[in-house]
Amino acid sequence: MRCVPQNIVLILLLAAASVMNADPGVVLRILDKKTFQPVSFASVVVRNFGGLSQVMEADRAGICQTTLVNGKFQVLVKAKGYHSIDTTVRIHKDMGELSLFLSKVYTQDSLVEIRVSSQSTTVQLDIREEIAAPEIIEPAPVILPVPANTHIETDSVPELENEVKPEAALEDTEQVVMNIDYKPANLVFLIDCSSSMRLDGKMELAKRSVINLIEELNEKDRISLVAYGSEARVVMETQLGNNRNEITNALAKLVAKGTTKTGSGLDEAYRMASGAFIEKGMNEVVLITDGAIYDTGGSIIKRVNEGKGLGVSLSVVGVKNQAWTESGLRDLVELGGGVYLHLGSEGGAEEQLKQEIRKRAALNKDGK
């Protein structure tokens, strides 16, 4: 029998031990954004910012595994028939699994069908459905010159019967606004209180925005406040919409610290919205955050989808968030049936959100 040198044996033992103790890595699951079905054989590249890369191919179940963990990574995913994604994520060994969602590439015809079904207003649909009425050109009035020696008494000029005074027009406009009936609103404000919200005045901007948003609520409406950082907690139980002092005092106690447990925050917010649910009202969670949302295992998307099915929509206000985070936030809002708005240094987005809430809460002729 041939003897193996002791140093070779030692090297083999050390290698085996390192394999046994190696980090198992993080499972990447590639899914269709609409159907949540796996995308087979997608090409996946994970690259850290030091130049180290790992190139993989997902299996038939849309799964591959990266051994690059504990840091911030650029992830590129490509698959036939889908739009590729290029995003930045933070991966750590305790994540276990990370889901990445791809959108299908549609033809122009299929895009039109989707927009028709969702009743969205698009340029394509405007062209197909609306025929411009012929323009009616009224003859210009004939103005005769006044002789130079003619004197006109201003008091004798008759007042036109159809002339609308500015004051009357304003009164009519105000009357129209007052006559609009709105559904009662059940709003749950979910505020990101992670450490990043402490920077650049984001937390104070978020607080002011909530106060501005509730200005027009009344006793028919309901408001709740949930905060999340390292954990989610109910900051204010459901109150009447005109109880502004209560929510102002609750907001004053919020402090930004800890990590970002968005999933836990959404669970708590949807629980509050369901508990105060208003039949035939508008029930909505308003998420206010400054960053991206990492959906491990697709649990957040599942929660938002379930909430919408129960009649609770989701809107998102991005507080001074970076442009690369908007794609994920918009996808979440599209699924939740609400709106996405960016809140910059001067604020102002809350007014747009108020307008959107009014529009969706306005009763139609049938009282629905």
Domains and CATH numbers, the chain: 6-102 (2.60.40.1120), 185-361 (3.40.50.410)
Cα–Cα distance for residue pair 46/18, rounded to 1 Å: 23
- Burial class, 266, CB count within 10 angstroms (exposed 0-12 / middle 13-18 / buried 19+): buried
Cα–Cα distance for residue pair 73/47, rounded to 1 Å: 6
283, 313 Cβ separation under 8 angstroms? yes
Residue 104 scores a pLDDT above 60: yes
pLDDT at residue number 348: 62
Nearest to 64 by CA among 77, 81, 53: 77
Q: How many CA atoms lie within 13 A of 101 on its CB side?
A: 23
Cα–Cα distance for residue pair 85/100, rounded to 1 Å: 9
Q: Is 338 helix (H, G, I), strand (E, B) or coil?
A: strand
101, 113 Cβ separation under 8 angstroms? no
User: What is the crossing angle of helices 244-252 and 202-213, to 10°?
Assistant: 170
Structural element, H or E, at residue 242: none
pLDDT band at 265 (very low <50, low <70, confident <90, very high): very high
* The dihedral formed by the CA atoms of 221, 224, 225 and 231, expressed in degrees to the nearest 10: -150
Structure tokens at 7: 């140093």
Most confident option among 133-137, 273-277, 349-353: 273-277
SS3 string, 67-103, reads: CCCCEEEEEEEECCCECCEEEEEEECCCCCEEEEEEC
H helix and E strand count, the chain = 10, 13
CA-only gyration radius of the chain, Å = 29
pLDDT at residue number 358: 73
| 31-39: average pLDDT | 85
- Burial class, 349, CB count within 10 angstroms (exposed 0-12 / middle 13-18 / buried 19+): buried
Q: What is the pTM of this model?
A: 0.53
pLDDT at residue number 180: 58
Residues in a beta bridge with 55: 45
Q: How many CA atoms lie within 13 A of 248 on its CB side?
A: 8
236, 224 Cβ separation under 8 angstroms? yes
pLDDT at residue number 355: 78
DSSP 334: H
Cα–Cα distance for residue pair 92/109, rounded to 1 Å: 42
265, 258 Cβ separation under 8 angstroms? no
pLDDT band at 86 (very low <50, low <70, confident <90, very high): confident
Neighbours of 288 (CB within 10 A): 27
User: Which residues in 88-124 are b (16+ Cβ under 10 Å) and which e?
Assistant: ebebeeebeebbbbbeeeeeeeeeeeeeeeeeeeeee
pLDDT at residue number 134: 43
pLDDT band at 287 (very low <50, low <70, confident <90, very high): very high
Strand order in the sheet with 63-66: 63-66, 26-32, 97-102
| 261-275: average pLDDT | 93
Residue position matching structure tokens 């206010």? 288
What residue type is 30 in one-letter code?
I
Cα–Cα distance for residue pair 292/53, rounded to 1 Å: 23
Cα–Cα distance for residue pair 293/336, rounded to 1 Å: 14
308, 209 Cβ separation under 8 angstroms? no
Residues in a beta bridge with 285: 188, 314
Residue 149 scores a pLDDT above 60: no
Structure tokens at 349: 């987005």
What residue type is 75 in one-letter code?
V
pLDDT at residue number 347: 55
